[in-house]
Structure 1
Amino acid sequence: MNTFNIPVHSTKTLIKASLIAATIASLVLIICILPSEYNIDPTGLGNKMGLTKLAQQTHGTTSAIEKAESNSIALKSDKVEIEIPANRGLEYKLLMEKYAHLEYQWQTNGKPLYFDFHGEPKGDTTGYFESFSITTSDNMKGSLTTPFAGSHGWYWKNTTDEPVTVTLTIKGNYLIKG
């Protein structure tokens, strides 16, 4: 029979280890984390080690992003129903800034439509557009981060002899052009 001698630590040893761990964690917080994350350097060691530069770079990037977002269109969501006439096509567009994010989902009442999800650059007069998805379906769900400012949206074509209703749910930074 094998006997294992497992050491049992006393309460005094466990308290001592916990206090040492708490002291080390506090030192790491004061010397490393506060200077590098929040540009707070009570000891001056963060500056000497170059950690405050990290906080300044991160803060500068965050400020630039916040400034860009404040100049753009506010985040919102909409749900719309769009009727596509029989044997006709229809476009539905959103005005969006460069790198704006859009989450979307659309569905019909079960009848498939040909569609082209695409964007047209702001101010372009050549007729250029970039397609993101082209197929025939009765639904689609996805997201888009716009590669350029301009008009982005869908062209749906109904090849049936009856109108088809598209229910579109969108969330992002956009203005509805219609």
Structure 2
Amino acid sequence: MFNSQLPTRDDLPSNESLLKSALVALLAAIVILVTIVLPAEYGIDPTRIGRVLGLTQMGEIKMQLAEEAAADRETGTAQVEAPVPQEAAVSSSAVIPQGTPAETAEPEEVAPLTEAPAKPAAPEWRDTISITLQPGEASEVKLTMRQEEIAIYEWTTDQAGLNSDLHGDGANDAFISYRQGRNESGDSGEFAAEFDGYHGWFWRNRADVAVTVTLRTRGAYSEFNRLF
């Protein structure tokens, strides 16, 4: 049997090379932390690279929803419904006073029945998507729109509620939040794009059960995409 030859001192890396390698690894970790992790997770973007990549907007939404979740835990999500007073039933029968002679009423002319005009059918939705979110999971759907184009939408859940943010982002760090909701089972309406870019919905499931959200849209937009 032959024993493997032990490395000589010259074969081992020097202290200087080890130090350089450690510094390079530390520098790479700092760059990743500052340009990717901080913008995407906490909305902190000292270099502004994260906003160009669209990571800062995601981090800002995450921090906002995290604050909302903390507020939910403090105040509790259970709400006591106020009792609905029952209205007294009103009899529709008229009371005829006794002792009054009955008057002979002449028959009234009955106007011919006319058919009510049919209501116009509601416009069909252009795009529809259903997404199932597990507890704690999030998703985002965006429309590609030009400034002043109008989109009409409706989204509903099958059970429980979702935290949501309807917002837009575009070039030159453009960002706007049109609407925010917490623990909602749905929303509908329309909005006009404030600028050229991507406009849509971010949902997060803070419930203890899986929730399926269904989004329907129509209007002026060129693309309909689920980002994650």
TM-score (norm 2): 0.42
How far, CA to CA, are the matches of 1:79 and 1:90 in structure 2?
Answer: 15
How far did 1:95 drift?
0.8
| Count of equivalent residues | 100
How far, CA to CA, are the matches of 1:104 and 1:172 in structure 2?
Answer: 9
Which residue among 108, 111, 117 is the counterpart of 2:157? 108
State how 1:1-178 maps to structure 2 within 5 Å: 77-121=126-170, 123-124=171-172, 126=173, 128-136=174-182, 137-174=184-221, 175-178=223-226
Structure 2 residues not aligned, in runs of 5+: 1-124
How far did 1:110 drift?
2.9
Structure 1 residues not aligned, in runs of 5+: 1-75
How far did 1:129 drift?
2.0
Question: How much is the aligned-residue C-alpha RMSD, in angstroms?
Answer: 1.5
Using CA pairs under 8 Å that are at least 6 residues apart, name the structure with larger relative contact order, 1 or 2: 1
Aligned partner of 1:15 in structure 2 is none
Of all paired residues, the percent bearing the same amino acid is 31
Structure with more of its chain in helix, by fraction: 1
Task: Write out per-residue CA displacement over residues 48-103 of structure 1, whole angstroms, 9 at most, x where no aligned residue.
Answer: xxxxxxxxxxxxxxxxxxxxxxxxxxxx7111112223212211111111111100
How far, CA to CA, are the matches of 1:82 and 1:168 in structure 2?
Answer: 8
Runs of 4+ in 1 over 4 A off after TM superposition: none
TM-score (norm 1): 0.53
Structure with more of its chain in strand, by fraction: 1
How far, CA to CA, are the matches of 1:117 and 1:84 in structure 2?
Answer: 17
Task: Write out per-residue CA displacement over residues 127-172 of structure 1, whole angstroms, 9 at most, x where no aligned residue.
Answer: x521111112111010011111100011101012322111111001
